[in-house]
Amino acid sequence: MNMDAAAVLTLFRHNEGLLEGHFELSSGLHSAGYLQCARILQFPDYAEQLGQALATRLANLKPTLVLSPALGGVVLGHEVARALGVRALFAERREGKLTLRRGFQVTPDDRVLVVEDVVTTGLSTRETIGVATACGGSVVAAASLIDRGDSPADFDLPFVSLARFPLPTYEPSDCPICARGEVAIKPGSRSLGR
């Protein structure tokens, strides 16, 4: 399967990965749409194909390590690392802060590729970049399946996304869905570590 933007969005639509309703995103923003990557990444064949598609677009940067934020980026990061033939690590949230998983190591020799499932504000990606640089690693790029932000993500380093699919977000105080009295649900994984 060709993994261009149209194919990625078709995968989400056909596997109920594009949800409609009233959602509180991990950033705290509200949205009428939510991209649930686990609906697609639960299928190893799709995960492998998506990982290969990202790896192909980033191989020229010669990363030696893929680092992903848990939980969302773990499966995809592993598949990208497998396609590149490098290690895959993940950072996890402890006491509200993203940190490197105990026993894992990023060294000054590592050329780190940060891989996330969906980017909205870029907060998790920036935190993961911070984890890698705090350990002395050199971050060469960031990547995601989908960039869903209002404007394209910018991390001051190369960023590759398989698809750009902006979904409007709102501060809770300005959310038109909240104004109608509808309660937002939190489908993301960031709240699990709190």
pLDDT digits (tens, 9 = 90+) for 103-144: 899 999 999 999 999 998 899 999 999 999 999 999 999 999
- Predicted confidence at residue 101, as pLDDT, reads 79
- For the ranges 1-10, 73-82, 105-114, 160-169, the lowest mean pLDDT is seen at 1-10
Pairing of strands 169-170, 30-35: antiparallel
Distance between alpha carbon 134 and the CA centroid of its chain, in Å? Answer: 20
pLDDT above 90 (res 150): no
Closest CA to 146 of 22, 7, 14, 29: 7
Closest CA to 38 of 145, 168, 194: 145
- Predicted confidence at residue 78, as pLDDT, reads 98
pLDDT above 60 (res 180): yes
Q: Each residue of 46-81: pLDDT tens digit?
A: 999 999 999 999 999 999 999 999 888 999 999 999
Cα 100 to Cα 135, 166, 172, 180: the distances in Å are 9, 30, 31, 41
Amino acid identity, position 45: D
pLDDT bin (cut points 50, 70, 90) of residue 193 is very low
Q: What pTM was computed for the model? A: 0.88
- Counting Cα atoms < 13 Å in the Cβ hemisphere of 139 gives 23
Distance CA 182, CA 67 (A): 37
Sign of CA dihedral 56, 78, 123, 128: negative
pLDDT above 90 (res 178): yes
Please check whether residue 182 is in contact with residue 188, taking contact to mean a CB–CB distance below 8 angstroms. Answer: no
- Predicted confidence at residue 3, as pLDDT, reads 84
pLDDT above 80 (res 1): no
Please check whether residue 157 is in contact with residue 142, taking contact to mean a CB–CB distance below 8 angstroms. Answer: yes
What's the whole-number average pLDDT of the chain? 91
Kindly report the CATH number that applies to the domain delimited by 5-193: 3.40.50.2020
